[in-house]
Amino acid sequence: MSKLLDTLVAGGITMIPLMICSFVVVALAIERTIFWSRSKKQQKRVVRKALQIYQEDPSQAEDFLQMHIDLPIARIYLEALSIPDATPTEFTLALDSRLQAEMPSLKRFNNIFEIVVGLAPLLGLLGTVTGLIASFGSLTLGDVGGSKALNVTGGISEALISTATGLIVAVLALVAASIFRSLYAQQVAYFDQCCTQLELQHLRAHRQKVSAHV
């Protein structure tokens, strides 16, 4: 631990924002991992059960979805089911509007990951520049191997450590951003499929109701 701490200290002042960026990336990646694992684990069961209940009794479907209101798909379904005697067009518009409203929660923190991807290498480059400035500032002609040689070595160490740390943090943020962007795209496609299934059931129910009144 002490060796790691010495390495971080040798990286210079730019290590402070780089460490903050790394902590932010790890914390947000953990939060997003919990969110996606929990959502993907429960939503398929909830959708399957909700569609089954809706086919039998639409009012009971609302009660069932209220029990899972913390899931985005449950909120999307409830937005349409809560409209009394909705026409197919109204039903579809309600689903689409709620789906758009849920998008920000699915893309949450993606911008932060992208900012870190661009910022971390620049901070590493800044550490490289400050380290080289310190190295060249310590150089004195005729003092090769003297006491100032340690300052030159320290400046070069600062430049290399900050550069490596900046690249590592950027790579971690890029990997996290890519994974969560892929999960977002998969989730949007899945929501479209779920909404289409509910729309078909509502359309059948609406046609049966119209035929019964004719």
**How high is the pLDDT of residue 177?**
93
Per this entry, what is the length of the chain?
Answer: 214
Q: What is the pLDDT of residues 167-197, one digit of tens each?
A: 999 999 999 999 999 999 999 999 999 999 9
**Collapsing DSSP states into helix, strand and coil, what is residue 62?**
helix
DSSP letter for 71, please: S
Structure tokens at 91: 């039903």
Residues 145-170: tens digit of each pLDDT = 555 544 555 556 666 788 888 899 99
* Residue spans per domain, the chain: 14-213
DSSP 187-214: HHHHHHHHHHHHHHHHHHHHHHHHHHH-
* pLDDT, tens digit, 9 for 90 and up, residues 25-83: 999 999 999 999 888 888 889 999 999 998 888 778 888 999 989 899 999 999 998 88
Q: What is the pLDDT of residue 214?
A: 55
User: pTM of this prediction?
Assistant: 0.79
End-to-end Cα distance, the chain:
80
Residue 41: name the closest of 64, 68, 76, 75 by CA: 68
